[in-house]
């Protein structure tokens, strides 16, 4: 099943349904002896949960993660860490009509084919975006280990919402501190003018019972050189596989990404140079990766999030029982844009993947 | 190491260096009893190798694959199939200067960090694009099995070279036969006007000792509904991981992909509808995948190929021994655009991945 | 980490510490739509837990498993099934002295080397035999699926305790019903005379503050022919790997196993024969497996369980801090023989493995 | 398929059929920069091949391994190392009658069920013992890396043939040098009286057109402490899985193994003690492993090899086409005992597994 992340040395085992008793994750393979920062974990969970409440889902849950194992005296024991988040809002009848009239572009229809009538439709069941909460927990832990053992920082920002771009100067990547400071804004966008436009766009979509998507840029700072391998274990392969695990992600590219097609080789090759006796590249069009291996520059990944398919606006769909077309009006809670909440989730998956790559290179006993 | 593709039930084990004795691949997990079509395999190999000789590399090899195991009386035995391709052009001194002055944006520098001075620099060693020949062989086999057991067809075309787009009508995807017929052209492009412009662009780049990239679109027709799983085994995760394994791939997206950001949810949701008593979607903006699972529409994937980093044009680089900047003029053979040759390679990886997904769902004993 | 079982299509993610909040398991990859028999699950849990209370550990817990996900209307949804068992007896100071004076042949010392001082020593922490309770739960589910989809039955009996053998006629394997009936006895032994002798032996060991081991035989009835593969995925490889996961297992053999050395080839070859138009083997010295593949005869596996290393008897050990030899008297609960409780645990691992092999051959969508 | 060994960081991809063009293996994940000792590799290959020619198979091949990739200037490059061994004796008609009248206890029958009529029956096809030659090559490389990076030595001896035991004093394990010296004898047996008896026994079996099995003991000296993990990645699980991959292996145990059942806990617990300021155990009944983790004592594994099923003696079998019982007299080459040749093969699999465990703990970049 899809719910096991099998890294080379780290595994995640995700479970739960949106409206079941609890959701959670088992994190296997973390190194031992690292002190965990509970405030940091809480703040990461908070970034995904309650932020921009007007801009995103109306469901309010405490999302307090309860650690069942793997921690002793606030340190990672190296044993599997299981964490659960209890659901307060249980199964309702909001979703009953979705069994026969699946939401367009949602998992409802394919899930009914794949899993038959046992599929738990409430709130999307296991397909729910709520399942990303335990992923953020795992990512927070990965960030703590990355910082503590490798000095690596994983951050991100919203690069675009609908057609509105974050207008920070492309040539000079903001540094780690600026990224973190940026998290305090309602949307993690550098340019304040773009920020207001984006908020307006999301509110407009909400008002219209519609939704918008966007693009997120993720960065890993201080990546050591020479990690990774070519071909099937390229850093790009591993990172993309992890990021495409997140619902609503429909595209991933690195460095210039799809924009590489608009350049000649001579324009976009990254020339080596010396900086403080350290070999760097003058530009970073390749997003820190050549031949699947890190070159020491920041890892740069862009991820597109499609507009939430669950919209309140009336839509055509097929009643798959009667085989008649019907108008569907989806009740329940809707997110005008999950780009806002996707940011910490995507950072989490990048952090877990980078940690797995580091551990594969340096071993379990760090 | 990166050279093992570990699908759920199919594995590929790739080996060889550009200028060593032989390159090859072991294909493990193929079902038994399927007749192999040697002409088809040869034609797929040919698509990668010699096509558009003016547009791509000058190296001429027969690339005749030699099957060592796994085939009896022209049928797959179900045992591992090993195939080798002997190298006729052996190690030369063309590359010796690259040890100290690594090619910008190439694997030379990172490989020297990762693998030290044992790295085989000739022709890129194991990083060479030549390693994609055995991948095409594996893909040809996967296509044969997909066709024979699932009636699935995997094809592709060049969607863009530099800024020139293939102007086929976007709303109506050409059918399988049209894709195959398209393979006879010098570039697999539907619109003949675009075709000439693309050829001109590639020739211009060649003349300027430069290179261009482009975008490839891949399609899997007749995908059964309800294959795949959510989260970490989403079809997107598996396909993207496989495609990013190919050197020079820097972006992958599905359906509308990055263009999702320019649409409202109400515009890009794919509504269910009935066609000949079969449930389809009216549009296919999601590229045949919802919630990580196939919905029965064609799988559509777009892949960006960066401009070849090996260009004859003089470039700045650092002599990593002397730590002085130097002008590098790369001798040897260069491809003004590998987009042309990347097409069958990417189709191959998609075919292998789709076959692995089908087998995971239906089992080894088909 | 060791706590992920990665079958080809089924994964188990085990977590928890003996004296933590809860232990549990996430079972990923089960097919959907199968009705679960809660009484059967409870009886399997009971077989491991409370049976022969005089013969085994004094710790009394309800061990009531709480299912958090993956079940709807008493059917498997096909989504990950998470189950937790809350610990009622929490951490105590019974174990504090074990940090400096590790129990001989126990995990205490190696765990302190591997995981440092973060290791949770209470009750063995994650190494505790208590962690086998969730494994029995997973095995009960696997048995239900095996029966429902493949008509396969997995059972076992105690073949030997210390030097006392179960004297059932070796030539005629008891059938499935007899095995199940046998579970009602205090020890699952066929011959009643051996049964009393074994009970006496265990009680004698208890009285002497000592422990005894034994041999368990496991059987899978109605195994389909032609499942499995040679070499690294041989049924023997997969089953042995799973069985050696259980603490205290120190040997695994198939069919005649180590006794093969006492026979000539002509004596122990299993000749093919016809029975009711079905091809069988006249004997089953190979335990149902040739060339790593099932031949349709019952799978027969023998497993040796070493005497519990935790004994109340005074033992020499080293104080690893002072580096002086000390006499260790272990407080807390001790099992004079875990053979009794190991039986359902080993059956569970065999069932999970056989199910994984069946699913690999027949696919996820059964 | 079974022919991929997927260690945590090392993979082997085995291919070939007994009477095809070539057999071989791709070894993926080896560290780079290690000088390979070709004489040592040749001597390991020789131990498997030609030794005791009177005692084993009459087939004579040069078995010269040809390295295709992964080595430059006699050093491991870190890239996949592919090696092939060409078959000089090609397919013959010796085996044609075996399609309808499968050899008892051989893979013939199960392979025909599993792989249908595409199965290559000649010489056992992919199931042939000849496939162990590339495994010995991989093991020789693993031994070189283990010695160079971890100072670990993997050796073995024949502990028993039929009912004749090697009478070396059990309490004092011979040291590494004694094991290596022992390899010069016709059978690697310490006690010369046992040696003659074993040779007689094998010759007697040969004369009678029969076969005998035996027990092999494997040792890994200088194993670092604290490697491995509990449960599903226990050293026992990994090692047993690897050893059961070898044809004819029907049992594996560690330390006292099945003999644990004849001892009380107080007798067989290994007490910690101090030796030259190093913490050791006074005895090594647990074969160097507690809780799945190495304790620094030699790893001790015992493996039973069943008598070769291919015997020249007339045997009953069933003609699976006519469904009549027939007398089978197997033509071709037969081994009266493969115990002799199995020793280096089993050492190889232990070496590969131990190396994989070490690399998982210490990382790819050693």
Inter-chain touch A364–D361, beta carbons under 8 Å: yes
Tokens of D221: 């000296």
What per-residue confidence (pLDDT) applies to C92?
60
ipTM of the shown complex: 0.96
List all residues of chain C from 302 to 331 with a beta carbon under 8 Å from chain A: none
Q: What is the DSSP letter of C207?
A: H
Tokens of C308: 């519990």
A281-293: pLDDT as tens digits: 999 999 999 999 9
What per-residue confidence (pLDDT) applies to A146?
98
**Which percentage of chain A shows pLDDT scores above 70?**
93
Distance (Å, rounded) from C-alpha B308 to C-alpha B104?
A: 11
Query: pTM for the complete prediction?
Result: 0.97
What per-residue confidence (pLDDT) applies to D124?
80
Indicate the burial class of B278 (C-beta count within 10 angstroms; 0-12, 13-18, 19 or more): exposed
Q: Find out whether D52 and D187 touch, Cβ atoms under 8 Å.
A: yes
| Closest alpha carbon to C104 in C351, C318, C364 | C318
Report DSSP letters for D87-146, one per residue.
-SS---STTGGGTTSPPTTSSHHHHHHHHGGG---GGGGGGSGGGHHHHHHHHHHHHHHI
Q: Find out whether A226 and B110 touch, Cβ atoms under 8 Å.
A: yes
The residues, ordered by sequence, that sit 6+ positions from C39 with a Cβ below 8 Å of its Cβ are none
pLDDT of B94 over the 70 cut: no
Distance (Å, rounded) from C-alpha C158 to C-alpha C187?
A: 7
pLDDT of A102 over the 70 cut: yes
Chains sharing 3 or more CB pairs under 8 A with chain B: A, C, D
| Closest alpha carbon to D130 in D55, D206, D23 | D23
What per-residue confidence (pLDDT) applies to C366?
85
Residues of chain D with pLDDT under 50: 53, 58
Q: Out of D226, D229, D364, whose CB is closest to A360?
A: D364
Distance (Å, rounded) from C-alpha C139 to C-alpha B85?
A: 47
pLDDT of A58 over the 80 cut: no
Residue among C74, C80, C81, C364 with most chain A CBs within 10 A, to mutate: C80
Q: Which residues in C lie closer than 8 A to residue D250 (C-beta atoms)?
A: 236, 253-258, 260, 286-287
The residues, ordered by sequence, that sit 6+ positions from C192 with a Cβ below 8 Å of its Cβ are none
B303-333: pLDDT as tens digits: 999 999 999 999 988 999 999 999 998 877 6
Q: Does A80 touch chain C (CB under 8 A)?
A: yes
Residues C130-162: b if buried by 16+ CB within 10 A, e if exposed: bbbbbbbbbbbbbbbbbbbbbebbbbbbbbbbb
Distance (Å, rounded) from C-alpha C350 to C-alpha C280?
A: 22
> How many CB atoms lie under 10 A from the CB of residue C247?
26
Number of A to D CB contacts under 8 A, please give it: 26
Q: Does A91 touch chain C (CB under 8 A)?
A: no
- Mean pLDDT of all residues in A122-129: 84
Query: Locate tokens 């265990």: which residue?
Result: C202
Indicate the burial class of A242 (C-beta count within 10 angstroms; 0-12, 13-18, 19 or more): buried
What per-residue confidence (pLDDT) applies to B92?
60
Inter-chain touch B361–C359, beta carbons under 8 Å: no
Distance (Å, rounded) from C-alpha A366 to C-alpha D362?
A: 8
Q: Does C28 touch chain D (CB under 8 A)?
A: no
Main-chain phi, psi angles of A328, to 5 degrees: -105, 125
Q: Which residues in D lie closer than 8 A to residue A9 (C-beta atoms)?
A: 8, 360
Task: Please report which confidence band the pLDDT of residue A55 belongs to, taking 50, 70 and 90 as the band edges.
Answer: low
What per-residue confidence (pLDDT) applies to D54?
59
What per-residue confidence (pLDDT) applies to A94?
61
Q: Find out whether C266 and D313 touch, Cβ atoms under 8 Å.
A: yes
Q: In Å, how far is C204's CA from the nearest CA of chain A?
A: 36
Cα A58 to Cα A45, C351, D304, distances in angstroms: 16, 45, 65
Residues A189-203: b if buried by 16+ CB within 10 A, e if exposed: bbeeebbebbbebbe
Weakest mean pLDDT among A310-314, B194-198, C34-38, D266-270: A310-314
Q: May I ask the CATH class of domain D4-362?
A: alpha beta
Inter-chain touch D3–C317, beta carbons under 8 Å: no
List all residues of chain C from 32 to 61 with a beta carbon under 8 Å from chain A: 32-33
Given 3-state DSSP classes, what are the helix, strand and coil percentages for chain C, each rounded to the nearest 5? 35, 25, 45
Q: Are strands A81-86 and A278-281 parallel, antiparallel or unpaired?
A: unpaired
**Residue spans per domain, chain B:** 4-362
| Closest alpha carbon to D312 in D327, D334, D283 | D334
| Closest alpha carbon to D308 in D216, D187, D209 | D209
Distance (Å, rounded) from C-alpha A120 to C-alpha A99?
A: 9
Cα-atom radius of gyration of chain D, to the nearest Å? 21
Residues of chain C with pLDDT under 70: 1, 50-62, 89-96, 169-171, 333
Inter-chain touch B279–A245, beta carbons under 8 Å: no
Q: Which residues in A lie closer than 8 A to residue B309 (C-beta atoms)?
A: 265, 269
Q: Find out whether B29 and B9 touch, Cβ atoms under 8 Å.
A: yes
What per-residue confidence (pLDDT) applies to D62?
67
What per-residue confidence (pLDDT) applies to C64?
87
- Mean pLDDT of all residues in B45-58: 68
């Amino acid at each position: 099943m899809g719910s096991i992340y099998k890294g080379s040395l780290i595994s995640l085992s995700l479970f739960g349904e949106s409206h079941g008793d609890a959701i959670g994750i088992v994190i296997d393979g973390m190194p031992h002896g690292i002190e965990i920062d509970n405030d940091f974990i809480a703040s990461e969970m908070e970034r995904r949960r309650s932020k921009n409440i007007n801009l995103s889902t109306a469901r309010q849950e405490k999302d307090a993660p309860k650690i069942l194992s793997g921690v002793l005296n606030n340190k990672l024991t190296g044993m599997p860490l299981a964490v659960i988040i209890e659901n307060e809002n249980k199964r309702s009848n909001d979703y009953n009509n979705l069994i026969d009239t699946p939401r367009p572009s949602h998992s409802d229809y394919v899930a009914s084919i794949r899993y038959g009538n046992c599929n738990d439709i409430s709130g999307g069941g296991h397909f729910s975006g709520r399942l990303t909460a335990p992923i953020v927990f795992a990512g927070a832990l990965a960030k703590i280990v990355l910082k503590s053992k490798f000095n690596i920082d994983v951050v991100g920002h919203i690069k675009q919402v609908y057609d509105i771009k974050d207008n920070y100067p492309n040539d000079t990547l903001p540094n780690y501190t600026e990224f973190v400071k940026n998290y305090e804004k309602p949307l993690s966008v550098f340019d304040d003018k773009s920020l207001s436009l984006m908020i307006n766009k999301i509110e407009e979509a909400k008002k219209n019972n519609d939704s918008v998507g966007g693009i997120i840029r993720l960065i890993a700072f201080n990546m050591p050189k020479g990690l990774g391998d070519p071909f099937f274990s390229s850093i790009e392969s591993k990172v993309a596989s992890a990021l495409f695990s997140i619902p609503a992600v429909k595209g991933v590219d690195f460095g210039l990404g799809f924009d590489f097609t608009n350049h000649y080789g001579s324009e976009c090759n990254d020339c080596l140079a010396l900086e403080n006796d350290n070999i760097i590249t003058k530009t970073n069009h390749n997003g820190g990766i050549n031949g699947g291996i890190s070159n020491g520059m920041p890892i740069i990944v862009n991820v597109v999030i499609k507009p939430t398919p669950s919209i309140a606006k009336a839509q055509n769909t097929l009643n798959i029982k009667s085989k008649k077309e019907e108008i569907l009006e989806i009740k329940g809670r809707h997110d005008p844009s999950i780009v806002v909440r996707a940011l910490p989730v995507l950072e989490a998956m990048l952090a877990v993947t980078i940690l797995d790559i580091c551990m594969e290179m340096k071993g379990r006993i760090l």
